[in-house]
Amino acid sequence: MEIKTITTQPFDDQRPGTSGLRKKVAQMQQPNYLENYVQSIFEILPELVGGALIVGGDGRFYNDIAIQTIVRMAAANGVKRLMVGQNGILSTPAASAVIRKFEAEGGLILSASHNPAGPDGDFGIKFNGHHGGPASETITEAIYKFSQSISSYKIVESHDIDLSTTGSQQLGEMEIIIFDPITDYADLMESIFDFDAIKAWITKGHSLRFDAMHAVTGPYATEILQKRLGAPADAIINGTPLSDFGGGHPDPNLVHAKVLVDELYSDGGPDFGAASDGDGDRNMILGNHFFVTPSDSLAIIAANAQLIPRYKSGINGIARSMPTSSAADRVAEKLGIEMHETPTGWKFFGNLLDAGRVTFCGEESFGTSSDHVREKDGIWAVLCWLNIIAARNESVAQIVESHWQEYGRTYYTRHDYEEIDLESAKGVMAHIESQFEALRGEARLGSKVKTADNFSYSDPVDGSQSHNQGLRIILENGSRVVFRLSGTGTVGATLRIYIEKYESRLEKLGEETQIALSELINFAEQISEIKQRTGRDAPSVIT
């Protein structure tokens, strides 16, 4: 086997975002583009030489071609054992689980998560470490820096390997194992939840609908919901993974999963509905005529954790991203456990999970998970809700409303302005921050501004610092408005506005969210001048 050294030049746009390197497919297809980034990973992580590496992705366009390139480069760079999901498929949470189970040195996950796919869509690649979670900022920055001075990469010449048949193959000194990407993950889920109780709930005639959005979770849902839990075949919609996700936008929210939402809000609709995204790490939970916000979902799962076998003896703590509502904070306070507020990005939960400081983590962007892996986990969140529903024998609406009566309700919404001009978005952020000094202590909306800052985080485990993580305006009554530029898009900028208000008065718990938050929404629009500065009359998506 001949190892070839190919001369190359750096690309100046390979700085990864919060979830790895994401670009349009056409950019990734440029000669040497993917190879440069992959070589940079091998150079920064010498433990991969002689070690084991997991590879897989969400099946989007270019997934199979990229895997063949990675296989050849892994062999050239001295990887001893390469484990690839059958047909190149591996959901992000399943990848984390497999890395941990087989004690691999890490994994390369090929996905752009909830972004559209196809020849004109997006593609992404990220490295997860030996603990199964996303690489730290220190590692990703080192990878980027190396990519800016790279002059060559190593690769071997070979025919394409067979990704369709499980078993062992050899490429030079490297063993390639094609493994079933579904079974290990399904077994893990069965060890966490009360499958008997969930199966009994389903067989009693309760109906459910899971929208896989033609993305990676279709086969996982088929194995778990249909084969192991007895749900009928029509319980899973859009269950066949397609390289372009059927032309849809695989983001499980009220806009992009409209078909599912309409069914759950129809007369005689299912009792329970859920959706997951492109790579399987996000989730949306619905009841009949009822939407559960991700912030509430985290709080309710934590408050009912004792009903799930794995967590029946209690949980250590909860962590949430800063933009996520404070609903979980009240649960942690009542349970007497730790509560942590981190920047956006699942990698910030890793140290807390590894140190045993927290058990549950959540982000308002439809991501929830626990210490069973080091990633968001959409199927896990769905099973949490099914387990809780089965144990309580109550509907989704009854469970949520009961929670509000006990803990109060945190009204919460997120307004996304997608694909706006980057300079305009930066101008909005600068304008907001310029007002902070004057805002502090000022009377607004029946309260006073307690905090106006750019959020910074000090990791309580290793002391690392993260700055400029989002602009916060917090009132003394607990109401918040948060502004943040997202790092997951590939075109222009996405400006997100997060708005929340706490309400404990029972007679006020049933208001429509946008109405309950209307004064704060108007305040956010006025202080940001977002309409004037971006030319947008309304958000692209409201959740």
- Can you spell out the DSSP letters for 111-165? --TTS--STTSEEEEEEE-TTSSBPPHHHHHHHHHHHTT--EEEEE--PPP--SS
**Residues 152, 217 share a domain:** no
Angle at 487 between CA 486 and CA 490, to 5 degrees: 105
What's the residue count for the chain?
543
CATH number at residue 68: 3.40.120.10
User: In terms of Cα–Cα distance, which of 185, 174, 253, 182 is closest to 219?
Assistant: 182
User: Residue 274: its pLDDT value, please?
Assistant: 98
| 293, 381 Cβ separation under 8 angstroms | no
User: Residue 486: its pLDDT value, please?
Assistant: 80
Q: What's the chain's average pLDDT?
A: 95
CATH number at residue 424: 3.30.310.50
* Integer angstrom CA distances of residue 393 from 14, 85, 114, 202, 386: 50, 37, 32, 11, 10
With cut-offs at 50, 70 and 90, classify the pLDDT of residue 517: very high
The domain boundary residue, chosen from 180, 202, 234: 180
Mean pLDDT, residues 412-418? 93
3-state secondary structure of 540: coil
Q: Tens digit of pLDDT for each residue in 15-73?
A: 998 779 999 999 999 999 999 999 999 999 999 999 999 999 999 999 999 999 999 99
Mean pLDDT, residues 85-97? 97
Mean pLDDT, residues 451-457? 96
**Residues 312, 383 share a domain:** yes
| 280, 216 Cβ separation under 8 angstroms | yes
The domain boundary residue, chosen from 371, 388, 406: 406
Task: In whole angstroms, give the CA distance from residue 248 to residue 310.
Answer: 35
Assign residue 259 a region (left: φ > 0; alpha: ψ between -120 and 50; beta: otherwise). Answer: alpha
- Can you spell out the DSSP letters for 351-378? HHHHTTS-SEEEETTTEEEETTSSS--H
User: In terms of Cα–Cα distance, which of 376, 354, 349 is closest to 457?
Assistant: 349
3-state secondary structure of 432: helix
**Residues 383, 320 share a domain:** yes
User: In terms of Cα–Cα distance, which of 319, 313, 342, 345 is closest to 331?
Assistant: 319
Task: In whole angstroms, give the CA distance from residue 390 to residue 271.
Answer: 12
- Neighbour order of strands in the sheet with 21-24: 21-24, 122-128, 106-110, 52-57, 81-89, 174-179, 167-171
**Residues 201, 70 share a domain:** no
**Residues 126, 81 share a domain:** yes
**Residues 288, 141 share a domain:** no
3-state secondary structure of 308: coil
The domain boundary residue, chosen from 180, 210, 238: 180
**What is the DSSP-derived secondary structure letter of residue 17?**
B
Domain of 94, in residue numbers: 3-180
User: Residue 457: its pLDDT value, please?
Assistant: 96
Task: In whole angstroms, give the CA distance from residue 178 to residue 168.
Answer: 6
Mean pLDDT, residues 319-338? 97
User: Residue 379: its pLDDT value, please?
Assistant: 98
Q: Tens digit of pLDDT for each residue in 351-367?
A: 999 999 999 999 999 99
User: Residue 541: its pLDDT value, please?
Assistant: 85
**Residues 413, 401 share a domain:** no
With cut-offs at 50, 70 and 90, classify the pLDDT of residue 543: confident
**Residues 333, 220 share a domain:** yes
- Asked whether the predicted pLDDT for residue 488 surpasses 80, the reply is no
**Residues 201, 175 share a domain:** no
**Residues 55, 16 share a domain:** yes
- Asked whether the predicted pLDDT for residue 228 surpasses 60, the reply is yes
**Residues 175, 80 share a domain:** yes
Q: Which two tokens stand for residue 179?
A: 């493994």
With cut-offs at 50, 70 and 90, classify the pLDDT of residue 237: very high
Catalytic residue set: 113
Task: In whole angstroms, give the CA distance from residue 369 to residue 377.
Answer: 5
Task: Please tell me the total count of domains within the chain.
Answer: 3
**Residues 239, 129 share a domain:** no
